[in-house]
Each structure stands twice: as structure tokens, then as C-alpha cells.
Structure 1
């Protein structure tokens, strides 16, 4: 992809921009970004990553190889109405919007190769876990280019579009769950008398080490857990408290509610499209 235009300049757009700039996937000067009104935000991205800004007449969209939809889902119809007349027919569309279907994008932008993806904010450091689905207009070469771009910001898995709701709940929102866990561990450590800076370092290394063990050993999580758990020991006592506190049920509910919300967002965009047509 020679020329990439981001439509939207929020946290997800920045994470992907940071990742592809760091990996050298696209030259920063060939990355353009626009949003509705926040000029200060655009200037910050330009100064931080050395990217280019879209001109007021948005002529860059006419020659874009890849257009990344990174607006708020609620704004997608307004955005598509604005950019649709400017797109060239060969432009590939990559969406990073939660809940917005390929059908919705096709209805707003016409016939294009479209990839609907769900990265996460760890894209900024090349550690995203991304799910992606493609429409039938996407050629093998276009699909490969998208997979290579997304691979430059982490791992990528091609899935059925309907499964992206679960992917959004699991890995799209997943970093927030890990940060929430880290918050709780840190608070508990401080209550136990450990200095915050020391607790933070221990927690980060513990999470990182456990993740590396999962990847490098390829063992089942349950086996790795059992290997740490001595009968009658401290780990067993801690796990017993998690179990009695409904740990598994809370995780199941977390993923379930996040997936339902993703489906609601998609349903809301369809309803909006129907009511405005």
C-alpha cells in the first residue's frame, strides 16, 4: 500500500499509525489523516509520527490505495456520505470500527475491496491481536496486502465476519481487562504493605512472564496453573478465594456483555441506515 488515508484520528487510529510507522510498513509521509474538527489532535499526530494531514478539499482520498475507517461508529454514515464521492474505485477499505458490518460499509461506499478488522491498542507497540474478515470483492492480492499490514502491528487471524463480535469482546477490549486486573493487584499489594513502584514492576513482570510461558511452552493454561499450585499452599488459597468470589462467572459475563454490545452497535447502525433511507 503506497498511500494510506486514515479517516478518524482517535486512539485506535493512533495505535495503528504508531505501529505501522514503527515497523516501517508504510512511510510516514505516505500516511495521511483527517478528522471532523480537532485540528490540535491532527497536529499532534503529525508532530509525533511525521505523517501528513489531509487537505481541506480531501483530494488525497482520490489517490489513496487504502482508506482506513477509524471514526466513532455513530458517525459512520455522515463520514461515508462525505468521502464516498471522493474515493477512486481501486481504493481498498479497511475498517477498525466496532460493530459496523461490511454490508453497512458497502451500502455507504459502493463496490470496493473491504476488510473489517478489530485490532487493539497494543498495535502501538506491535503487539495487537487482530481479527479480520473480508468481503467477496477483495482479491487474493488485496487480502494478502491487508494481512501483511495487520501482521506488522501484531498477530492477525482471519475469521468469519459474525465472529468479529466475539473477537471484539475478547481481544479488542481485552487490554482493558488486563489493565483492570493490574489495577486490582496493585491496590491489593499496596494494602499488603508493598511500595507502589515495586508492586508495579512485580505485576508487569508476572503478567509478561505468564504470557511468555503460555506462548513458549504451548501448554494448556490449566496445566500451567496446576504446576504453580501446591496442595495446601499459598496459590491454592488464593485461587480458592477467586473461585468463591465468582471469578469464572465474572469473566464469562464480561465477554458475553461485550459481545452483546458489539452486536447492538451493529444493529443500531443498520437501524439508522434504514430510518435515513
Structure 2
């Protein structure tokens, strides 16, 4: 299948490189474009056999599956521009959470889906969130699932939990990275450990924790119980976390949902759906 990418920002690039590295797609069957074409050309420098074009309409005409990897408010005008070149058999995929599949379906004459990737997909791991439009055929659904399964565990979700799911899957790595960075900084400030040592230990701890969870030997609560010896050091550390965290993650979801609703409102004014 020939695949086109419109937009080579962070997530677009992650998808392109991950598909190639995982052998999900042959680079010679991939065409990419970007508003700043130099960004697309830099990807080609790392993989010479993929194609770069400045012609978005040509990209659509010559490819079967099209990933739209642009900012939410840029999608509607882009779709209006591309609609005359889209066929019923095209598979159009948005990777932007505020854009709903039904909004795209009311704008274009082809099959639609939304796939929300995660930076963890660059390691050919983690989850990708998938929502299929009503226009999406069983064949198209299978093709999307198969493609995404090369770089992630594709998880189909309903539109109602899009923001919460995206917070965990897509934003989660940034949230957890921030907490680990604060963990490292505090270790350096409060003890004689060097930052380099703390970074190495924290990284290996995270990798080991991920592998341990993958075995499903322990749930998260069970893991805490195993490490926390009664009257021990870990318990005292958890007390500090309990007093500090409180409603922190509630506020994280409140903030992200408030921004999400703002984005949805702006998008709805464009789509009128």
C-alpha cells in the first residue's frame, strides 16, 4: 500500500521513521510533504528511498492511505483543498485528538479514521489510540490495525474518552518524564549522588520497571506492597508522596480537558458539525 504523510512535525516524523524501522511499510512506498519542505528533505537524508513532494494534491492522488499530521486548526482548510482529489477508496487518517471522525466524514468523500500515536511508538512499543469513522470498511480497519500493530498496541476507543486516553497514552510520557526529572533533581540536591549517577540509575530503574510490568507478575498496587517493608524506608518515602501528590493528577486532567474543550470549540466553528 502506498502511504502519504502531510506534515512532518514531531509525531508525523515518529510515525514515518517507526513504520520504516519496523518494516511496516517499504520506504519506497511512502511519500511525505511539509509546509516547510526542508523538514521533509531532512527525513529523506536519513532514508533516501522515500519520496518527497511539495505538491499536496499530487500526494493525495498517488497514494491510498493519507496521514494528516498538522495542527487542529489547519486541518479543515487543508481538507477543503484536498477534497476534489480524494476518492471513495482513499483512507484518510487524522492524528489530532480534537478532530472527530464524524467531522472529517462530513467534509471528505472517503474513508476516515483517527489514530493518536505516542512517542513510545518510536521504540515500537506502547499504545496507539484508534477511532474508526462509519465510512471505514472492514478491509480498511484491518489495514490500519495491521500497520499500527507493527509499532504499537492499537487500542480502539470511543470518542467520549479521547482526552483521558490521550492524556495517559500520548501525554503520559511527558508527565512521567517531568516527575522523574524532579526525582533526579531532588536526589542531587539532598544527597551526595552526582546527577550523572542519578540519571543512569533512574533510567535503568524505569526500563526494569517496564519489563517487570510486562511480565504481569505484579499489579501496580502489588508492586508497591512487595517493595514497601513495614516500618521501612520505602514506606516513609510513600508517606511524603501521599502528602505531596494529593489532587495533583486530578488537576492534570482538569487542565488538559479545559484546553481540549477550548480546541474543540474552535474546531467546531470551522466544521459546523
The TM-score range, normalised by the shorter chain, is over 0.9
Question: Per-residue deviation at 1:225?
Answer: 0.5
Gaps of 5+ in 2: none
Number of residue pairs aligned between Structure 1 and Structure 2: 271
Is 1:67–1:93's contact at 8 Å kept on the other side of the alignment? yes
Looking at structure 2, the residues matched to 32 and 147 of structure 1 have their Cα atoms a distance apart, in angstroms, of 20
Question: Per-residue deviation at 1:248?
Answer: 4.5
TM-score by length of 1: 0.92
1:79 match: secondary structure: helix
Of 256, 259, 274, 2:254 maps to 256
| 1:49-96 alpha-carbon deviations (Å, 9 max, x no partner) | 332112436313113110001101121112112222222321101111
Q: Residue 226 of structure 2 corresponds to which residue in structure 1?
A: 227
RMSD of aligned alpha carbons? 1.7
Looking at structure 2, the residues matched to 203 and 226 of structure 1 have their Cα atoms a distance apart, in angstroms, of 20
Is 1:132–1:164's contact at 8 Å kept on the other side of the alignment? no
Is 1:98–1:265's contact at 8 Å kept on the other side of the alignment? no
1:131 match: secondary structure: strand
Is 1:69–1:96's contact at 8 Å kept on the other side of the alignment? yes
Q: Residue 76 of structure 1 corresponds to which residue in structure 2?
A: 75
Q: Residue 127 of structure 1 corresponds to which residue in structure 2?
A: 125
TM-score by length of 2: 0.93
Deviates more, 1:11-20 or 1:52-61: 52-61
Is 1:8–1:70's contact at 8 Å kept on the other side of the alignment? yes
Looking at structure 2, the residues matched to 10 and 74 of structure 1 have their Cα atoms a distance apart, in angstroms, of 15
Looking at structure 2, the residues matched to 206 and 98 of structure 1 have their Cα atoms a distance apart, in angstroms, of 31
1:157 match: secondary structure: strand
Gaps of 5+ in 1: none
Is 1:15–1:122's contact at 8 Å kept on the other side of the alignment? no
Q: Residue 212 of structure 1 corresponds to which residue in structure 2?
A: 211
Looking at structure 1, the residues matched to 140 and 246 of structure 2 have their Cα atoms a distance apart, in angstroms, of 40
Q: Residue 46 of structure 2 corresponds to which residue in structure 1?
A: 48
Question: Per-residue deviation at 1:249?
Answer: 1.5
**Is 1:236 paired with 2:228?**
no
| 1:31-50 alpha-carbon deviations (Å, 9 max, x no partner) | 111122x1221111111233
1:115 match: secondary structure: strand
Deviates more, 1:162-171 or 1:10-19: 162-171
**Is 1:85 paired with 2:56?**
no
1:256 match: secondary structure: helix
Q: Residue 171 of structure 1 corresponds to which residue in structure 2?
A: 169
Question: Per-residue deviation at 1:238?
Answer: 0.9
Is 2:73–2:267's contact at 8 Å kept on the other side of the alignment? yes
Question: Per-residue deviation at 1:256?
Answer: 3.4
**Is 1:113 paired with 2:111?**
yes
Question: Per-residue deviation at 1:228?
Answer: 0.5
